[in-house]
Amino acid sequence: MPVAARRAIAGSPETGTARTGAIIRSPIPMPEKIVLAYSGGLDTSVAVHWLRAERGYDVVTLTVDVGNEPDLEAIVAKAQRIGAVATRTIDARELFVRYFVFPALQAGAVYQNQYPLATALARPLIAKLLVDIAREEGAVAVAHGCTGKGNDQVRFDVGVASLAPDLRIVAPAREWGMTRQQEEDYARRHGVPLPQGGSPFSIDQNLWGRSIEAGDLEDPWVEPPEAAFAWTKPVDATPPQPRDVEIEFERGVPVALDDQRLEGVDLIATLTRVAGEHGIGRIDHVEDRVVGIKSREVYEAPAAVVLLAAHAAVEAMVLSREQLALKQRLAQEYAELIYTGRWFSAHHQDIAAYVQSTQRFVSGLVRVRLHRGSFRVVGRRSPHSLYQPALATYGQGDTFDAGAAVGFIQIWGLPLRTQARQQLIGYTEEPLAIATPQVDEPPKLDAPLQGKAGVQA
């Protein structure tokens, strides 16, 4: 027998008394809880009200600091004012650097040879924290403020589903179909505070980088205005004299800057300031999004670009040619899985295991010169270096056995000589033509494309 029925027969004061014929009312069900990743911006602020009014949830907000410098006190007050039943904040900067940024640095992960993956790296961490808070709060769902057009919806949805398949995922901005103007009108009607002094651009930032998009930047022909940048100086405003910085690595992780040992968060923040002062770290490229569209993206990542180059310089000293070749291929795959939201996958675990193995001897010191918007490695050394001066020198003390080169060349070139003799030499009137194979002339741009049979394609 259901609990409510037993209470009614027993004369429970919650439901009335059956013997006297009183009306028995069932208890009103409590609203379900949902945890919303909350930034305090327009989308997520409107989402707090929308989730309450349109979906009937009790909303718990979660604000995560990954180096985006949030005003946590103001954000919490705003969420409470709109109607959140609880607000949670987490300083996750150290977690972000230790478990996400530095593993990506060790892998050399850069998406499409341009993007150091700052925003993409933060999303799986926030997804994990959403799940953790949902468990603590007894929530049945999580929510985020991503639209249906960007990459982050994929990263959040796939990440949460990988960690907690039982949780529902709600994306209000993907569902309500409102334009930005309609969101602002909705906010005014329902007393949701509007952001003050907003930027014309859509900006996301954390310790590893800052992304700027929308507005005039949607035209790839338009040069990004200086107003889009916050961390990097324009070249004409940078110091006239170059500056050298020395970065020390231990097992692939940066541990010191200019002979001062620093924790990861402080090291990245310091290098961001120093490199940004010299105009380092601006990135402007057209990127392929997960959802299948091309998007013009502008980034600032001073510390990221310098650390990636310095780390690669140490690896070049201590890894073999075969290790470097495989690792460079895996770096692209690593970047792809981060960008496409597959952090919590067995594929990632497998690649990460190899990457960690390669970092056993990636320790050393790198000197990088910063000057007028550019930088270059000007010195490197490692106690595990495979670079041996006695083998590399052309001067006194040369220990390389040049006489052995003749036999090596004979063996190395054997397959080529065999193929040339058996297949190439004597089978063409012009033996040297094999170096420049003949191809059909490409169609002219103003001519219709033709198929093999002459039919227009």
Residues classed as catalytic: 43, 123, 152, 202
Q: How far is CA 353 from the centre of its chain?
A: 20
- d(C-alpha 282, C-alpha 234), whole Å: 10
- The partner residues of 62 in beta bridges, in order of sequence, read 37, 88
Strands in 260-261's sheet, in edge-to-edge order, are: 260-261, 253-257, 243-250, 364-371, 374-381
- d(C-alpha 314, C-alpha 362), whole Å: 6
Q: Which token pair is 148?
A: 């249906």
> Is 62 in contact with 33 (CB distance < 8 Å)?
no
* Residues in contact with 118: Cβ distance below 8 Å, sequence separation at least 6, in sequence order: 205, 206, 207, 208, 209, 210, 211, 299, 301, 304
* Residues in contact with 346: Cβ distance below 8 Å, sequence separation at least 6, in sequence order: none
Q: Characterize 222-237 residue by residue with b for buried, 16 or more Cβ atoms within 10 angstroms of its Cβ, and e for exposed.
A: eebeeebbebbbeeee
Which amino acid, 1? Answer: M
Q: How far is CA 98 from the centre of its chain?
A: 14
Q: How far is CA 343 from the centre of its chain?
A: 10
- d(C-alpha 66, C-alpha 117), whole Å: 14
User: Taking the CB of residue 213, how many other CB atoms lie within 10 A of it?
Assistant: 18
